[in-house]
Amino acid sequence: MSKPRLVIGSHNRKKRDELLALLAPHGIPVVTLAEVDSNLPPAVEDGQTFEENAAKKATHYARALGEWVMADDSGLCVEALRGAPGVDSALYAGQHGDDEANNALLIENLAGVSAEKRAAHYVAVLVLADPLGAVAAVTRGECHGRIVAQRRGSNGFGYDPLFEVREYHRTFGQLGPAVKRALSHRSRAMRQMLSRVITLLGDGSAA
C-alpha cells in the first residue's frame, strides 16, 4: 500500500525547504500548495494565537484537498513590545512578507531600548490535519534570544538578521542553515511532530 503524501500548507519556499530537510529521510512524499493547486482560496488567518491560525490553515486546506495537510504559524515576540509583533509578524509594517520594512519598523520601535531589555523569542506552531479536516496533532517550538540594534548577516528570512542567538553571539542571519535547522523554533516544533507524521503517514495505515 502506497504512503499518503503530506501537503505543506504554504507557498513559502524557504519554509518548505526547512521542513523538507527534516521529512525527506523518512520517505514521506511532500508537496506544497503551489504544487497541488495554486488556485486554492487562501485560509482566513484571523485567529488571536499562533495555534488558532495554524489550525485554520491546516483544516481549511485539508478539507479543500481531501489530503493530509501540515500548516504552521510563526512569528517573533519581543518582550519590550509586550509580545509584538506576534501573530502579526509578517504584516508588522503593513504589507505581508515585506521583510525589509518589518525589520526597519522593529529597529525603530526598539530605539533607545537597552541591550539587556531586548529579549525576544521566535514561536512556531505546527498543526497536522487529516483528509477530513480534523486536527490530528499540534506542536509548538520556541527559540529564545534578543534583538540587536542593526541587521547582521544575509542568511534566513524574516527577522533573522536582527535575532541573535545568545549562546552563539550571532544572528540567524549570520549562522548557516545547518545551525538554524538545529536551533530554530520551526525545527523544534517539527522534531516533536515527526513521530506523529511517521505514525499516521509513514506506515501506510492511513492511506
As a whole number of angstroms, the distance between CA 140 and CA 72 comes to 10
Residue 160 annotated as lining a ligand binding site: yes
12 is in an annotated binding site: yes
| 162, 167, 169, 175: CA torsion to nearest 10 | -70
* 114 annotated among ligand-binding-site residues: no
Q: Which residues of 140-168 are buried (b: 16+ CB within 10 A; e: fewer)?
A: bbebebbbbeebbeeebebbbbbbbbeee
> Which of the residues 73, 88, 98, 99 is marked catalytic?
73
Active site residue 73: yes
Find out whether 13 is annotated in a ligand binding site.
Answer: yes
205 is annotated as contributing to ligand binding: no
102 is in an annotated binding site: no
Name the nearest CA neighbour of 122 among 191, 181, 184, 51.
Answer: 184
Q: Are 47 and 87 in contact (CB under 8 A)?
A: yes
- Consult the annotation and say whether 166 binds a ligand: no
Number of other residues whose CB lies within 10 A of the CB of residue 170: 16
Confirm or deny that 140 is annotated as ligand binding: no
Would you please indicate which residues are annotated as catalytic (active-site) residues?
Answer: 73
As annotated, the binding site for Mg(2+) includes 73
As annotated, the binding site for substrate includes 10-15, 74, 157-160, 180, 185-186
As annotated, the binding site includes 10-15, 73-74, 157-160, 180, 185-186
